[in-house]
Amino acid sequence: MTDEALDLLASADTLIVPLFSPRTATLFRQALPQTFGARLQLVVMSAAVAEAVDGLAHYCLEVARRPDADAMLEAVARLADLQPLP
């Protein structure tokens, strides 16, 4: 992960993270630092992607209504609307 991504993960912020496939979910999980302060809002494309992140700490999960990019964008937008402004 980039230094910027690691800084965001170390913060106490809420981060929305879209994950499109079980492979990218697994790679994301493997790249996470051992400890991080951010609360993760994971948006996943399917139940298979959700399974790949099962057991992570500090996260909420949103599964897209359909397994396509438009549904992923809708889910991210829904979560972004729920986030308080800085």
- The mean pLDDT value for 18-44 works out to 93
Q: What is the CATH number of the domain that holds 36?
A: 3.40.50
Q: Which domain holds residue 29?
A: 3-82
In the predicted model, what is the mean pLDDT of residues 24-45?
92
* pLDDT at site 80: 87
Residue 80 three-state SS: helix
Distances in whole angstroms, Cα of residue 31 to Cα of each of 5, 49, 67, 80, 83: 11, 16, 24, 24, 25
Report whether pLDDT(34) > 90. Answer: no
State the total domains in the chain.
Answer: 1
Whole-prediction pTM: 0.86
